[in-house]
Amino acid sequence: MGNAAKACSATASNDEAPHAHTLLIRKSTTPQTRDGRTFYEFEYFLVHAPTATAVPDMVADAGSRWTIEEDNGHGKDILGLDQYQVRKWTPWHRHITISMLAQAFLAATRAGLGKDPEPREAAR
């Protein structure tokens, strides 16, 4: 998960729980080496959450973004989510809808069978 730091700025809100804009800075746990130099990677997130939200919760939520990006990557690699050549919105919408439906079906099937939720790479 890495080390994390935050800088907070409260905002006025009509909600029951006050919210704040928080700058979350996350440092990688393992150093990276490039061109003979060792360094840590830093990630910056702007978080809008209730003021009582703990830093570990913010870090976990910020890390969940990678799951979404990996799922989109699997959709592109395996299901052809990015393989379309259309000129109008309707055919594009049909292609994307059927590709995402196929991805949802495969995820539900894998979960139902108790298999690893991560699909394997496409056979080429």
pLDDT of 22 > 80? The answer is yes
Tell which residue, 75, 79, 78, 55, has the closest CA to residue 67.
75
Q: Which of 10-19, 50-59, 81-90 has the lowest mean pLDDT?
A: 10-19
CA 21/CA 103 separation, integer angstroms: 35
Share of the chain above pLDDT 90, in %: 3
Assign 102 to helix, strand or coil.
Answer: helix
Measured between alpha carbons, how far is 102 from 119 in angstroms, rounded to an integer? 13
Strands (E) in the chain, as ranges, are 3-10, 19-27, 32-34, 37-39, 42-50
Give the pLDDT mean for 54-67.
Answer: 80
Residue 90 pLDDT: 92
